[in-house]
């Protein structure tokens, strides 16, 4: 057994272990932390799969944003008491049929996996063939913004819709900091400029090597979250218009370019090859800012109304 395979197997086992812990542990805090660990292990998996773009996004989002969102929610849910273990013998019997169906599904999936033909179409070769027309030299960026540009356009729309949905159902109430210390603001003051620099670097790198708008945006959003944790950046309240304007600006820029190209070239997001690089850079810069604010808004946009049910408060 060679070392690379041992490495992969051990990594796979750790990944499955952390996923199992996140689902099965009776304690909520442990479940959330194990899920954060799962995300970080996944970063290593993407690195092993030669997907540094995804690893970058997973590291930035998993460590920066998803983790803090979940920990924040944990603090809100934690106050209603710990969930019961729910692992008694009777519940196991009741759950047996479901588990059986799931196992059959798993067997079917694995069987299907083993029967798939190795390769029906050779996508990497097709991408490589089209690369000269794409205006960039990194294949993932070419796919994201040129060959499948409309997917990316719709994705930005999905992010905006999620934020609209959150605004519609009512924003979560901001919870007070439980503890504060002097070191975190100092860290934030030094780290956030570095993170901004790193984001600009990732954006610039996107055209010729792994990196790009999403990773840069995730990095910037993490910076804003850190500023909030350091109490430098207060929460955003729903009335602030510049937030909404900036969030929609990136999407509208993308949409305008798409519409313009539709009128000029007759194809949605069909860039002329000699201007493709410039247009993609323009779109990516706009996207970075608006995606970053959108992602940060998931954490920072908080209601200014008090908790509807104050009797549930039992903070020290």
Partner 1 sequence: MSSGLLFAVVGCLLFVMGLGGIILLDHLLRRILAFNLLGSGIFLVLVGLAQRNGRPDPVPQAMVLTGIVVSVAATALALALARRHQAAGGNTGQTDRTSPEERHD
Partner 2 sequence: MIGSELLLALLLLVNLGAALVRAAQGPTAADRMLAALLFGSTGVGILVLLAVIQQTPALIDVALTLALLAAISGIAFAQRAWSQAVLGRRRGTASKTEDGDAA
Partner 3 sequence: MLLDLASNLLLLAGGFFFCAGTVGLLRFPDVYTRLHALAKADNLGLGCLLAGLALKADSLVQAIKLLAIWPLVLVASAVVGYAIAHRADQLGITPWQRDDR
**Residues numbered 3-32 forming contacts with partner 3, rule: CB under 8 A:** none
What is the phi/psi pair of residue 231, to 5°?
60, 30
Q: Which of 69, 70, 191, 249 binds partner 3 (CB under 8 A)?
A: 191
User: According to CB under 8 A, which one of 57, 203, 230, 292 is a site residue for partner 1?
Assistant: 57
Range 103-142, binding partner 2 (CB under 8 A): none
| Closer to partner 3 by Cβ: residue 274 or 314 | 314
- The residue range among 121-129, 165-173, 197-205, 303-311 that interacts with partner 2, by the rule CB under 8 A, is 197-205
Could you tell me which of 73, 80, 83 has the C-alpha nearest to residue 32? 73
SS3 173: strand
**How does 206-217 read in b/e, with b if 16+ C-beta sit within 10 Å?**
bbeebbbbbbbb
Instruction: Kindly tell me which of 79 and 275 has the beta carbon lying closer to partner 2.
Output: 79
Contacts of partner 1 in 292-311 (CB under 8 A)? 294-295, 298-299, 307-309
Q: DSSP of 86-153, one letter per residue?
A: ---HHHHHHHHHHHHHHHHHHHHHHHHHHHS-S-SS-HHHHHHHHHHHHS-S-HHHHIIIIITHHHHH
Contact positions with partner 2 (CB under 8 A) in 201-240: 202, 205, 209-211, 215, 219, 222, 225-226, 229
Q: Is 310 in the site for partner 2 (CB under 8 A)?
A: no
Q: What residues between 223 and 282 interact with partner 1 by CB under 8 A?
A: none
Closer by beta carbon to partner 2, 71 or else 259: 71
Structure tokens at 314: 């039992």
Using rule CB under 8 A, residue 38 touches partner 1: yes
By a kind-dependent CB cut-off of 5 to 8 A, residue 289 interacts, out of partner 3, partner 1, partner 2, none, with none
Q: CB under 8 A: which stretch of 6-14, 182-190, 246-254, 261-269 binds partner 1?
A: 6-14
Work out whether 184 is an interface residue with partner 3 (CB under 8 A).
yes
For the bound state, the minimum distance from the C-beta of residue 52 to partner 3, rounded and expressed in Å, comes to 14
Instruction: Report, in Å, the least distance between residue 186 CB and partner 1.
Output: 29
Decide whether 145 or 230 has the Cβ nearer to partner 3. Answer: 230
Tokens of 288: 């970075």
Residue 178 is a binding residue for partner 2 (CB under 8 A): yes
Distance CA 234, CA 291 (A): 19
Alpha carbon distance 309, 76 (integer Å): 12
Q: For partner 2, how many residues bind (rule: CB under 8 A)?
A: 73
Closest listed residue to residue 49, CA positions, set 208, 259, 210 = 210
179: CB partners within 8 A, 6+ apart = none
167: number of Cβ within 10 Å: 14
Query: Between 224 and 283, whose beta carbon lies closer to partner 2?
Result: 224
Helix (H, G, I), strand (E, B) or coil at 303: strand
Token pair of 150 as six digits: 């409309």
Question: Which parts of this chain interact with partner 3 (CB under 8 A)?
Answer: 178-179, 181, 183-184, 186-187, 190-191, 194
């Amino acid at each position: 057994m060679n070392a690379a395979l041992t490495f992969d197997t051990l990594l796979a086992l750790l990944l499955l272990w952390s996923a199992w812990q996140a689902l099965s542990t009776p304690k909520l805090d442990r479940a959330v932390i194990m899920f954060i660990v799962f995300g970080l292990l996944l970063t290593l998996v993407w690195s092993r799969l030669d997907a540094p773009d995804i690893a970058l996004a997973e590291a930035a989002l998993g460590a920066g944003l998803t983790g803090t969102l979940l920990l924040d929610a944990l603090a809100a849910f934690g106050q209603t008491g710990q969930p019961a273990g729910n692992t008694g013998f009777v519940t196991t019997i009741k759950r047996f049929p479901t588990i059986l169906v799931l196992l059959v599904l798993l067997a079917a999936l694995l069987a299907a996996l083993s029967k798939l033909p190795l390769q029906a179409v050779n996508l990497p070769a097709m991408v490589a063939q089209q690369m000269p027309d794409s205006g960039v030299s990194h294949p993932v960026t070419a796919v994201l913004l040129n060959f499948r540009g409309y997917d990316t356009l719709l994705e930005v729309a999905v992010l905006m819709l999620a934020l609209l949905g959150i605004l519609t159902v009512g924003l979560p109430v901001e919870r007070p900091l439980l503890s504060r210390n002097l070191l975190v603001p100092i860290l934030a003051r030094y780290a956030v400029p570095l993170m901004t620099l790193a984001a600009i670097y990732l954006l610039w790198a996107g055209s010729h090597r792994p990196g790009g708008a999403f990773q840069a945006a995730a990095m910037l959003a993490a910076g804003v979250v850190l500023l909030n944790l350091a109490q430098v950046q207060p929460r955003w309240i729903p009335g602030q218009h510049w937030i909404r304007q900036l969030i929609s600006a990136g999407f509208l820029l993308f949409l305008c370019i798409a519409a313009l190209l539709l009128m000029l070239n007759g194809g949605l997001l069909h860039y002329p090859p000699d201007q493709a690089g410039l247009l993609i850079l323009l779109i990516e810069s706009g996207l970075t800012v608006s995606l970053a604010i959108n992602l940060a808004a998931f954490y920072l946009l908080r209601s200014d109304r008090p908790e509807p049910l104050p009797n549930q408060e039992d903070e020290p």
